Amino acid sequence: MAAKFELYKDTAGEFRFRLKAGNGENILASEGYTAKASAENGIESVKENAPKEERYEKKETAAGKYMFNLKASNGQVIGTSQSYESTSGRDNGIESVKTNAPGARVEDLT
């Protein structure tokens, strides 16, 4: 199965998207958007920025886990990863986004 973006509405009524790897694992999630078009623009921004190493912000959580944010050219966070147990897990997650996001199809679940 190929990677895909899922566009959905959360329980608060906001539009969100997540990037799922071919194995079904969530590898990137968005913030909530009030307008569907804004979430769709977010997906396009992820596709555009995913291949660019300098767009990734690597972080350590307060719990000592590792995660990353993908940022747009204006510095705004457009996607956030899950938490990983190791830096290598996080770095593999980044590579997965770089590889999968640009060509991922969008499944509209709204």
31 falls within a domain: yes
* 67, pLDDT greater than 90: yes
Q: What is the mean pLDDT of residues 18-43?
A: 95
**Dihedrals φ, ψ of 77, to 5°?**
-70, 125
Report the predicted TM-score, pTM, of the whole model to 2 decimal places. 0.93
Does 18 score more than 90 pLDDT?
A: yes
The CATH code of the domain that includes 100 is: 2.30.29.80
pLDDT tier, 2 (very low <50, low <70, confident <90, very high otherwise): confident
Is residue 110 a part of any domain in this protein?
A: no
Q: What is the pLDDT of residues 54-66, one digit of tens each?
A: 999 999 999 999 9
User: Cα(25)–Cα(15) distance, rounded to whole angstroms?
Assistant: 20
> What range defines the domain where residue 24 resides?
4-105
Q: Is the pLDDT of residue 29 over 80?
A: yes
Q: Residue 53: phi, psi to the nearest 5?
A: -50, -40
Token pair of 20 as six digits: 């799922």
